[in-house]
């Protein structure tokens, strides 16, 4: 059976396409320096975009890992004054959280495993050898450990008796042990005493220090915790309280959130027409907000750096116009022996695209090397910087698109040359 005419035309077209790319590569090789300088804008543009995306991807992965390590079953309750409501109608006092609300939530929300109020008191903290002025001391319930996911490394956590009797006991983290020099007796800080606002507290346990420092901040990581009932007595004037709760599982987090909202509205006597004077937030909300923010920053940064692709494209167009001028006689000769205008247009267009794609590939290699280098920068939190597959695809598509966009006019100009005039060209 003889091959169909359409199959023959397809094979001929494929041969012509490959032949044209081969000619484009030979032209690039024949003018290596000029081709490199021409593609330099594309190389710099693609390398810059790739490096920026790798850095942002690494930072995004780092932050999301920290968020997700917190746990998808955690919920926060904050006081929140509604927008567009006169302050006189809903003053801040009506929005503050109350300890009775935390007890009601714990009793009436079956989807919750535990809840703890958190209130911070600014006090001076003094040990036998060190003094820290204006330190934030947190008052908590025993359920705080499960809700936050912070383990006691030495000693014991707070008990309900500590809270009910307002015992003057404290938990510290490892950073506080180091900064206050509580380990001089070799007991790891447990059993020592500290003065909080002039009151003597017994250190009964040491909790783990959060190692992750968001965005590389180097502020003090010392933390001190006391029973909530003790912190209440130390409050003076204005204070801010929040609740942290733990659902029985990530699958019931939304149900737990709805239960908390229902109990809070009933505790505050809010009607259907009244806006919420509180806010319940889940960790997944923060994750989604950060993902949206990170995507926007990536798009903006990529767009700004992508301007260099525009500059590189202009360079491509200029050099292709020069190439058309230099090869006018060649174009005339090709047309004289039967080359069509479409064939000439495709030839020069493929030369431009080949040049930009090669520049894009070189840029990707350089960008990848930059991404690897970012992982070794100390303190940058970019250990997970990498070039995602979609960035590689976008870079190559942009490179080819630049070649098509800026190579079209030179290619069209070459295809429209009159063969007789072209042969006469000197």
Quick: pLDDT tens for 305-341.
667 677 777 877 887 777 777 777 777 777 777 777 8
Instruction: State the average pLDDT over residues 400-421.
Output: 79
Residue 158 pLDDT > 50, yes or no? yes
Residue of higher predicted confidence among 395 and 274: 274
> What's the pLDDT at 218?
42
Task: Please provide the size of the chain in residues.
Answer: 426
Residue ranges of alpha helices (H) inside 306-388 are 307-326, 328-336, 341-374
Exposure class string for 133-171: b at 16+ Cβ within 10 A, else e? eebebbbbbbbbbbbbebebbbbebbeeebbeeebbbbb
Residue of higher predicted confidence among 38 and 189: 189
> What's the pLDDT at 160?
93
User: What is the CA 223 to chain-centroid distance, rounded?
Assistant: 27
Instruction: State the average pLDDT over residues 251-267.
Output: 91
Mean pLDDT (the chain, rounded)? 81
- DSSP letter for each residue of 247-270: ES-GGGHHHHHHHHHHHHHHHTT-
**Would you call 216 exposed, middle or buried from its count of C-beta atoms within 10 A (0-12, 13-18, 19+)?**
exposed
Q: What percent of the chain has pLDDT over 70?
A: 85
Residue of higher predicted confidence among 347 and 140: 140
pLDDT band at residue 140 using 50, 70 and 90 as cut-offs: very high
> What's the pLDDT at 215?
41
Q: To which residue do tokens 């003057």 refer? A: 168
The reported pTM is: 0.56
Q: How far apart are CA 309 and CA 94, in angstroms?
A: 56
Q: How far apart are CA 114 and CA 120, in angstroms?
A: 20
pLDDT band at residue 118 using 50, 70 and 90 as cut-offs: very high
Which of the given ranges, 88-102, 168-182, 217-231, has the highest pLDDT on average? 168-182
DSSP, collapsed to helix, strand or coil, labels residue 198 as coil
Residue of higher predicted confidence among 234 and 296: 234
pLDDT band at residue 54 using 50, 70 and 90 as cut-offs: confident
Residue 52 pLDDT > 50, yes or no? yes
Residue 23 pLDDT > 50, yes or no? yes
Instruction: State the average pLDDT over residues 137-146.
Output: 92
> What's the pLDDT at 217?
42
Residue 242 pLDDT > 70, yes or no? yes
Longest CA–CA span in the chain (Å) reads 106
Query: Range with the lowest mean pLDDT among 58-67, 115-124, 172-181, 348-357?
Result: 58-67
Quick: pLDDT tens for 162-194.
999 999 999 999 988 988 888 876 678 899 999
pLDDT band at residue 11 using 50, 70 and 90 as cut-offs: low
Q: What percent of the chain has pLDDT over 90?
A: 26
Residue 360 pLDDT > 50, yes or no? yes
Residue 260 pLDDT > 60, yes or no? yes
């Amino acid at each position: 059976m003889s091959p169909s005419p359409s199959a023959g035309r397809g094979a001929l077209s494929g041969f012509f396409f490959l032949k044209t790319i081969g000619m484009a590569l030979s032209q690039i090789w024949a003018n290596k320096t000029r081709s490199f300088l021409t593609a330099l804008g594309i190389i710099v543009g693609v390398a810059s975009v790739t490096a920026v995306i790798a850095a942002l991807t690494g930072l995004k992965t780092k932050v999301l890992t920290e968020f997700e390590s917190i746990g998808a079953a955690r919920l926060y309750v904050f006081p929140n004054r509604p927008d567009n409501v006169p302050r006189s109608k809903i003053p801040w006092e009506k929005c503050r959280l109350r300890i009775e609300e935390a007890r009601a939530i714990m009793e009436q929300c079956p989807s919750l495993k535990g809840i703890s109020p958190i209130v911070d008191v600014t006090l001076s903290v003094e040990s036998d050898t060190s003094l820290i002025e204006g330190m934030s001391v947190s008052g908590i319930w025993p359920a705080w450990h499960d809700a936050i996911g912070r383990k006691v490394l030495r000693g014991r956590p707070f008990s309900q008796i500590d809270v009910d009797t307002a015992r003057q006991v404290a938990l510290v983290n490892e950073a506080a042990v180091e900064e206050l020099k509580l380990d001089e007796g070799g007991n790891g800080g447990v059993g020592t005493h500290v003065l909080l606002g002039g009151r003597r507290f017994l250190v009964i346990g040491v909790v783990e220090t959060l190692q992750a420092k968001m965005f590389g901040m180097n502020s003090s990581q010392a933390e001190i915790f006391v029973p909530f009932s003790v912190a209440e007595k130390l409050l003076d004037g204005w204070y801010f309280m929040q609740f942290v709760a733990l659902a029985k599982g990530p699958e019931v987090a939304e149900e737990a959130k709805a239960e908390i909202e229902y109990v809070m509205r009933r505790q505050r006597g809010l009607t259907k027409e009244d806006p919420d004077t509180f806010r319940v937030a889940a960790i997944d909300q923060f994750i989604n907000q950060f993902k949206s923010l990170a995507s926007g920053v990536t798009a903006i940064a990529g767009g700004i750096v992508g301007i260099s692709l525009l500059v590189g494209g202009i360079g491509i167009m200029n050099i292709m116009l020069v190439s058309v001028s230099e090869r006018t006689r060649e174009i005339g000769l090709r047309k004289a022996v039967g080359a069509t205008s479409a064939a000439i247009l495709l030839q020069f267009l493929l030369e431009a695209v080949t040049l930009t794609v090669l520049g894009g590939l070189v840029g990707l290699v350089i960008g990848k090397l930059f991404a690897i280098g970012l992982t070794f920068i100390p303190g940058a939190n970019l250990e997970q910087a990498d070039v995602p597959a979609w960035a590689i695809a976008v870079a190559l598509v942009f490179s080819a698109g630049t070649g098509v966009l800026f190579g079209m006019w030179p290619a069209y100009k070459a295809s429209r040359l009159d063969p007789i005039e072209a042969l006469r060209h000197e």
